[in-house]
Amino acid sequence: MKRYDTLKLFLHEVIGVEEKRAETEADLMKHNVSEDTIQKLEHYIKEMLDLNDLHCCYDETSTKCKQCHKIETRMRIKNKIEKGK
């Protein structure tokens, strides 16, 4: 996953930052975050959103998959929150 994509996904899908703001802030942050932090965020996102268990040939570089993934992540986050209650 690219640094920008990781940061935007975390900001928007995980902590709920409005999408346009997440895009702007991810663009600003991508140059100032260490590779170690990016790797840890990627690991956290994959664990949080269960990306490893998608039943398809998920390709992080595919526009189609990213668009599909957006819907999937919202459902996964909602389900995780509901299970945690």
Number of domains in the chain: 1
Alpha carbon separation from 7 to 31, 49, 55, 82, 84 (Å, rounded): 11, 14, 24, 24, 24
The predicted model scores a pTM of 0.59
Q: Which domain holds residue 73?
A: 3-84
Query: Could you report the per-residue pLDDT of 24-82, keeping only the tens digit for each?
Result: 999 999 999 999 999 898 888 777 766 555 445 556 666 666 666 555 665 666 565 56
Beta carbons within 10 angstroms of residue 30's beta carbon = 16
Q: Which residue has the higher pLDDT, 57 or 2?
A: 2
> Alpha-carbon distance 9 to 12, whole Å?
5
- How far apart are the C-alpha atoms of 6 and 4, rounded to whole Å? 5
